[in-house]
Chains A and B, each alone.
Chain A
């Protein structure tokens, strides 16, 4: 029983360590950085939906030979994208699993969920 428990813990530890593998901080180039709105139904009046528009940040960055596209839902309505994040601007970032961490100019990281990874060559072909 103890052996099984130890093996299970070992496997769990290995899985966890695999998940924790990080890319390290890299220099990335902004391809796109936009604040967008997404409709969410907050109530129905019979069959008529009442919407609320929730903001989210949509970014694409080039890291090496890949373009990573990600989304981030700001925690408050006052949170905005850094104004310096324009196409071509270099930012510091790192990748961990499905998360893309980009550093704001003040050093604070924003965590984007990676939705798409595309090879730069594939984009050029398009």
Chain B
């Protein structure tokens, strides 16, 4: 900011004044001795003029300097304006520069600068200020629009995953002619979003691949001539979780499990339908007990219309409740215990499902008349697993059949009318103790899950393999040497976690699942069979990237008691009775089912 200070101006004026005074005093001094100094006045006057010329020249130079400084100021203003256009923060700086310039202009106007130049400068300043203001308003509008867009998009969260799997099956025994290894590749795609309708309500929608008739898996095998894969509604729900009462959460629709569970009582791919209420309270200042919760659920799995049918119009549903909590037992040991009771009402509807429910290929032909008038008859194809026909036979093979995508392994019988029934009722009592032990490596906690489940409505004794067809009196044909097949014992221990990139987790799980401990239709789809099994599982996971996991699982399992009704048997196996009355598995006269090994190699992308 170059301009003459007040002192400089004063100095210049004083200089000129001083010179003039000296000149006049010189003239006064030479007046008396006029004769002596008659030749000198010419030279003194010239010096004075020269001095005056110098002073004027100095002033002109100063004016030029001022003009240069004005130009510089103008340039600086323009630069400042340019910068202010780029960022809102520079706005203040540019305004400050403009203010300085205005002060300068005002100062100059008050001293030596021409009025036109100052007016021009003021006009430029006004333009710059207008431009800056417009830009600032525009930036604010843009910001508002962006914030609005962010708020709208922020209400939705995409969810889902893509899993590509390679899978191999091996099962063999001496003399087996039907034991061929099986290899397949599969894909699972799930995609959905969750949206906050407002502070209190959340809604979610999700689509997934997989057969419409199999709720226990969303896999699609790479087969059928590159055909397109089925996609169905996997989830659709609304949750009410009011801000004013965060302890309350009410959910209705088709939703993921809202309570603690494992593969024992339901496959992780299954999304039940109905309603769920959760009451949960956290405790921060209470020792040990950090949370207590109560979950209630009402699940509907078959709706009956009218007053006819198997249950005279009664719908089939499951109602239950679970109490749970979170305990911090020590600094390094936390436990999530839970106890569930769930009652399945009118479950026989599962065994008498429609072809639509199982997506079976119908045996009822459709007749079509072709162009020549000829009637062509063909079955209606289904894309699902179809009927699960238990070995007990005497079952519906058309119109209604057993729904159990992975095989019906519970005890069943048919009445005189041909309707299929479970031998047992189903009232689950399920205790889960999920423990986490911190280690000195934060990414390698030890996880220990223990579960005990008992079906309180299981029959006292099971059927054996000889029971087939209609059974007028189920109690007369049970195996009294065996007790209730109602228990599940399950343990799973692992080291590590799956939270961040680079995390690894290695574990082993053991399961003993008796025949009628749970309904076979909804159990884990990857194990040897839905029930009546002994199963080992070894697994390892590696978080390759923040959203990508590689996993390996080795399922090693066999049927627990192959001589029970509806037991899953290895291919080519049949049961015979020895002369001594004992049952054997042929060929080989074996007593146990051969182990089935199933290897799964997964790559999972989650978002």
Q: Give the interface of A toward B (CB within 8 A).
A: 39, 42-53, 73-76, 79, 98-99, 106-108, 113-115
Contact at A75–B151, with CB atoms within 8 Å?
Answer: yes
Contact at B492–A47, with CB atoms within 8 Å?
Answer: yes
Contact at A98–B500, with CB atoms within 8 Å?
Answer: no
Q: Which of B154, B505, B524 contacts A48 (CB 8 A)?
A: B505
Q: Which of A47, A73, A114 contacts B449 (CB 8 A)?
A: A47
Contact at B150–A76, with CB atoms within 8 Å?
Answer: yes
Interface size on B, residues (CB 8 A): 41
CB-CB under 8 A from B243, the residues of chain A are: 98, 113-115
Contact at B147–A51, with CB atoms within 8 Å?
Answer: no
Closest to B244 in A: A98
CB-CB under 8 A from B435, the residues of chain A are: none
| Interface of A: prevailing SS | strand
Given contacts A47-B449, A50-B549, contact A42 B263 (CB under 8 A): no
CB-CB under 8 A from B161, the residues of chain A are: 42-43
In the complex, what's the smallest C-beta–C-beta distance from B257 to chain A, in angstroms?
Answer: 10
Closest to A52 in B: B606
6 new A-B contacts, CB < 8 A, other than A46-B524, A47-B263, A75-B154, are A45-B553, A46-B539, A48-B541, A50-B541, A50-B549, A113-B243
Contact at A75–B153, with CB atoms within 8 Å?
Answer: yes
Given contacts A42-B607, A53-B499, contact A74 B505 (CB under 8 A): no
Contact at A45–B606, with CB atoms within 8 Å?
Answer: no
- CA A4 to CA B604, docked complex, whole Å: 58
Contact at B263–A50, with CB atoms within 8 Å?
Answer: no
Closest to B261 in A: A47
Closest to B269 in A: A44
- CA A38 to CA B243, docked complex, whole Å: 18
Does residue B93 face the partner (Cβ distance < 8 Å to A)?
no
Query: Which residues, 151 to 205 on B, are CB-close (under 8 Å) to A?
Result: 151, 153-154, 159, 161, 163, 199
A-B residue pair count with CB separations less than 8 angstroms? 74
Query: Which residues, 487 to 533 on B, are CB-close (under 8 Å) to A?
Result: 492, 494, 497-500, 505, 507, 509, 524, 526
Query: Which residues, 214 to 253 on B, are CB-close (under 8 Å) to A?
Result: 243-244, 246
Does residue B71 face the partner (Cβ distance < 8 Å to A)?
no
- CA A53 to CA B143, docked complex, whole Å: 28
CB-CB under 8 A from B449, the residues of chain A are: 47
Contact at A43–B262, with CB atoms within 8 Å?
Answer: no
Contact at A50–B606, with CB atoms within 8 Å?
Answer: yes
In the complex, what's the smallest C-beta–C-beta distance from A34 to chain B, in angstroms?
Answer: 16
In the complex, what's the smallest C-beta–C-beta distance from A123 to chain B, in angstroms?
Answer: 13
Listed from nearest, the 9 A-B pairs whose CB atoms lie closest are A75-B154, A44-B268, A98-B243, A42-B606, A50-B498, A51-B499, A75-B150, A47-B262, A43-B161
CB-CB under 8 A from A45, the residues of chain B are: 539, 541, 549, 551, 553, 602, 604
In the complex, what's the smallest C-beta–C-beta distance from A51 to chain B, in angstroms?
Answer: 5
Contact at B541–A115, with CB atoms within 8 Å?
Answer: no
Contact at A74–B492, with CB atoms within 8 Å?
Answer: no
Q: Which of B143, B154, B507 contacts A108 (CB 8 A)?
A: B143
Given contacts A98-B243, A113-B199, A113-B243, contact A50 B604 (CB under 8 A): yes
CB-CB under 8 A from A113, the residues of chain B are: 199, 243
Contact at A43–B492, with CB atoms within 8 Å?
Answer: no
- CA A114 to CA B242, docked complex, whole Å: 12
Given contacts A53-B499, A75-B154, contact A46 B537 (CB under 8 A): yes
Closest to A44 in B: B268
Q: Which of B154, B199, B551, B602 contacts A74 (CB 8 A)?
A: B154
- CA A69 to CA B607, docked complex, whole Å: 30
What are 16 residue pairs bridging A and B, where the CB atoms are less than 8 Å apart in the complex? A42-B607, A43-B161, A45-B551, A46-B539, A47-B268, A48-B498, A48-B507, A51-B497, A51-B498, A51-B499, A53-B499, A53-B500, A79-B150, A98-B243, A108-B143, A108-B147
Given contacts A52-B606, A108-B147, A113-B243, contact A46 B199 (CB under 8 A): no
Query: Which residues, 364 to 383 on B, are CB-close (under 8 Å) to A?
Result: none
- CA A115 to CA B161, docked complex, whole Å: 32
